[in-house]
Structure 1
Amino acid sequence: MASGPQKALQNLDAFLAWVETQQDDDFKQIAFRGQLSRVEVAKAVGCGKSALNQNPELRKHLKRLEDNLRDKGVLPPLTESAKNESCKPKQYDNTTNRKVLDSRRLSSLEAENIELKAKVNELEGKLKRFGELSETLSEMGFMPR
């Protein structure tokens, strides 16, 4: 089994070999949101998607490839905000997980609320109908026990 640095070199070699076999149209087909789809690149190279982010050499070559493709017009140019954000690390939001859980709970509670409102309407209709029946029976002198 290969060690970490050896695996990193193997992934880099596989990436470079893959790039050599591709045409501009091939890159256009795997473009996603203004860059190459990391999932598709990882599948084609035969490595994990994490290798594209964690291997500094591979990440550098991928960025260089995308920049070249932007210069050729295969990929759209980066916007100013994307250029500014690419240098900065992403801010970690520790409330994201809580927001997702709250959102799920809210949607389940809303669904339950709708079901309960429908049931209340149904039971109110039955109560009204049986109330009228009870009133009629008491007027006729038949009191149920």
Structure 2
Amino acid sequence: MANGQQRAQQNLEAFEVWQATQSDDDFKQIVFKGKLNRIEVAKGVGCGKSALSQNPALRKALKALEDKLRDKGVLPPLTESAKKDADKPKEYDNTVNRKLLDSKRVSALEAENIELKAKVKELEGKLERFGELNETLSEMGFMPR
């Protein structure tokens, strides 16, 4: 079994072979949000997606490929903010999960509220009808026991 450095070198070589076998049209097929889709690249190379970010040589080769494709017009150019933030790690937002759960809960409660309002309206209609029936029976003297 290969150690980490050997595996990293094998992944880099596999990436270079994969890159050489792809045409511009092939690359256009796997563009996602202005970059090459990392999952599709990993599948093509035959490595894990994490290798694309954890292996420095592979990460550099992928960035060089994307820059070359931008120069050719296959990938869209980077925006100014993307250029500034390229080397910065993304800030982790620990409230995202809570916001998602809250959003789901709010929509479930709104749906339940709509159903209950419809049920109340239906029951108020029945109550009004039976109230009139009760009034009529008491006027006629046929009160139930």
TM-score of the pair, normalised by structure 1: 0.93
Tell me which residue corresponds to 2:32.
Answer: 32
Moved more, 57-66 or 97-106: 97-106
Tell me which residue corresponds to 1:11.
Answer: 11
How far apart are residue 49 of structure 1 and its match? Answer: 1.5
Tell me which residue corresponds to 2:78.
Answer: 78
Tell me which residue corresponds to 2:51.
Answer: 51
1-structure distance, mates of 2:112, 2:2 = 54
How far apart are residue 23 of structure 1 and its match? Answer: 0.8
Q: Kindly tell me: are residues 2 and 135 of structure 1, through their superposed partners in 2, closer, same or farther at Cα, counting changes over 3 Å?
A: farther
2-structure distance, mates of 1:98, 1:114 = 24
Q: CA offsets, 1:104-128, max 9 Å, x none?
A: 2111111111111111111111111
Counterpart residue identity of residue 38, structure 1: R
TM-score of the pair, normalised by structure 2: 0.93
2-structure distance, mates of 1:140, 1:21 = 95
1-structure distance, mates of 2:123, 2:137 = 21
How far apart are residue 3 of structure 1 and its match? Answer: 2.8
How far apart are residue 24 of structure 1 and its match? Answer: 0.8
Q: Please state whether the residue corresponding to 1:87 is helix, strand or coil.
A: coil
Matches within 5 A, 1:63-74: 63-74=63-74
Where does the alignment leave 5 or more consecutive residues of structure 2 unmatched?
Answer: none
Q: CA offsets, 1:71-101, max 9 Å, x none?
A: 1111111111111111222112121221112
2-structure distance, mates of 1:4, 1:127 = 76
Tell me which residue corresponds to 1:138.
Answer: 138
Q: CA RMSD in A?
A: 1.3
Tell me which residue corresponds to 1:121.
Answer: 121
Tell me which residue corresponds to 2:62.
Answer: 62
Moved >4 Å (runs of 4+): none
2-structure distance, mates of 1:5, 1:110 = 55
Question: What percent of counterpart residues are identical?
Answer: 77
Counterpart residue identity of residue 123, structure 1: L
How far apart are residue 4 of structure 1 and its match? Answer: 2.5
2-structure distance, mates of 1:68, 1:6 = 27
Q: Please state whether the residue corresponding to 1:138 is helix, strand or coil.
A: helix
Where does the alignment leave 5 or more consecutive residues of structure 1 unmatched?
Answer: none
